[in-house]
Amino acid sequence: PTTLELPDFSLVVLIGATGSGKSTFASRWFAPTEVISSDRCRGLVCDDENDQSISADAFDLVRTIAEKRLKNRRLAVIDATNVRASERRDWIALARRWHALPVAIVIDPGLDICIERNKLRPDRAFGPKVPQRMVQEIRKGLRNLAHEGFRQVWKLSSVEAVDAAIVTRKP
């Protein structure tokens, strides 16, 4: 199993399609206060965690919370799909501004799993096209993550790898 040894002061960027298990992974390995979820922020601004039309407001909130945490030298986890390089660029810049280590954790248990899991979620009423596009986009950008500025890149590329992974911290 992979042991993800993260520096105490990291900005952790989860990368994974809808249904890949990001939020589940985050709640297993990080404190609730460390995890900043774009869906949760959607809910905070408009009572609907699935309303994509208010994404800009939700992400403003994610960015503000993340920045406040980094300013206070607290680890933060960005729980969003973070599919595109353009979405990840902001997080790298934010980490650099506060001298936190930008860490990427790619959660890719496979497209079929993402589709199957979303079928069981009443709040994720879209077809397989959505996760399919996300998985493709993520895989296309994988090799470039270090070049984007991530100082640690962890790839968990099967259900087993995600389940077995262990997260530790070092000062």
Footprint on this chain of Mg ion (rule: CB under 5 A):
23
Number of Cβ within 10 Å of residue 3's Cβ equals 10
Q: For residues 159 and 15, what is the distance between their CA atoms, to the nearest angstrom?
A: 15
Q: Please, which residues bridge with residue 107 across strands?
A: 156
Asked if 23 is part of the footprint of ligand CTP (rule: CB under 6 A), the reply reads: yes
* Residues in 37-56 at the binding interface with ligand CTP, rule: CB under 6 A: 39
Contacts of 31 (CB under 8 A, 6+ apart): none
Q: Interface with ligand CTP by CB under 6 A: which range of 4-12, 22-30, 55-63, 89-97?
A: 22-30
Instruction: State which residue has the least CB distance to Mg ion.
Output: 23
Region of 21-29, 68-76, 91-99, 136-144 interacting with ligand CTP (CB under 6 A)? 21-29
Buried b (16+ CB within 10 A) or exposed e, 131-153: beebbebbeebeeebeebebebb
Question: What does the per-residue mask of binding to ligand CTP show for 118-137, with x meaning CB under 6 A?
Answer: ---x--x-------------
Q: Which of 10, 11, 13, 19 binds ligand CTP (CB under 6 A)?
A: 19
